[in-house]
Amino acid sequence: MDQTRQWTAALVVIGDEILSGRTQDRNVTQVATWLNEQGIRLVEVRMVPDVEARIVEAVNEFRAACDYVFTTGGIGPTHDDITVDAIAAAFGVPVIIHPQARTILEDYYRDRPGGLSEARLRMARTPEGAELIPNPYSGAPGVRMGNVFILAGVPNIAASMLEALAGKIEGGRPMVSLTIGARAAESEVADLLRETEAANPGVAIGSYPFFKDGGYGANFVIRSEDGQLALDTGAELSRRLRDAGYEPIEGGI
């Protein structure tokens, strides 16, 4: 495994229900967390409507710019599920009924009311040349086409597809993340944070204020691909906070 190269991914969240405000997205957080574990950095998310041209544009831009592209949403049996068609169009290949996907769906619906109807068979459609991503949760598989991974929109199903993919795609070092909390208004420690970050190249420090249990405070998140550097920087920030009169809380508040 390459320990120096940085692996990148982008996520395209597909669905009018997200852009209309009807549905609260849950996939960005879980895809991001999963990518961290694989040592892959999520560099951008785009949320686009159920419009083929918009999906094609985002996917083609990202599959050239990133190692991996993930999509969520639009792979069910209804007319508004157009992701497979869009990815096929992006790659310039036809949509086929994937034989293995058909078998999976035949098995899944054999003893279920309605059987494998024409609408359900839509969920066996893939771009020509694609592989399947197992879906232990509800039968209908995800799809891998080149470096593009097509996941379900329903968070539980997307999660089970991610589980099936874990350890199967190449990444680098997982990003190490440490959190240190303090009962400090972030404006009071702004200089201290900037100085600590500047003194430790390769580390990013984020500052996230809160109001909790009747008092202000902030959590400081130290992120690096170098675990030792993250720990050293955490120790340094802790000392600096204590010197400035604040009690640093490892793990955050």
* Binding residue for a second copy, selected from 187, 202, 215, 247, defined by CB under 8 A: 187
d(Cα 50, Cα 246) in Å, to the nearest integer?
A: 50
Binding segment toward a second copy, per CB under 8 A, in 27-35, 124-132, 158-166, 233-241: 27-35
End-to-end CA gap in the chain: 35
Is 208 near a second copy (CB under 8 A)? Answer: yes
Let me know if 203 is exposed, middle or buried by CB neighbors in 10 A (0-12, 13-18, 19+).
buried
| Member of 38, 55, 135, 197 binding a second copy (CB under 8 A) | 197
Alpha helices in 92-226 (DSSP H): 99-109, 118-121, 155-165, 190-198
Member of 2, 128, 191, 247 binding a second copy (CB under 8 A): 191
Task: Please report whether residue 36 would count as binding a second copy according to CB under 8 A.
Answer: yes
Q: Does 205 bind a second copy (CB under 8 A)?
A: yes
Q: Is 114 a residue that touches a second copy (CB under 8 A)?
A: yes
CB 54 within 8 A of CB 61: no
Question: Pairing mode, if any, of strands 68-72 and 148-151?
Answer: parallel
Q: Does 23 bind a second copy (CB under 8 A)?
A: yes
Tell me the closest approach of the beta carbon of residue 129 to a second copy, in angstroms.
26
Task: Return the H-helix or E-strand segment holding 240.
Answer: helix 227-243
The owner of tokens 């809160």 is 210
Return all residues near 23 (Cβ < 8 A) that are at least 6 apart: 15, 17
Please identify, among the stretches 85-93, 160-168, 205-213, 240-248, the one whose residues bind a second copy according to the rule CB under 8 A.
Answer: 205-213
CA–CA separation, 83 and 52 (whole Å): 8
Rule CB under 8 A: say whether 19 interacts with a second copy.
Answer: yes
Binding mask 45-84 for a second copy (x = CB under 8 A): xxxxxx---x---------------------xxxxx----
Residues forming contacts to a second copy in the complex (CB under 8 A) are 13, 15-26, 28-36, 41-50, 54, 76-80, 114, 117, 119-120, 122-123, 154, 175, 177, 185-188, 190-191, 193-194, 197, 204-209, 221, 223
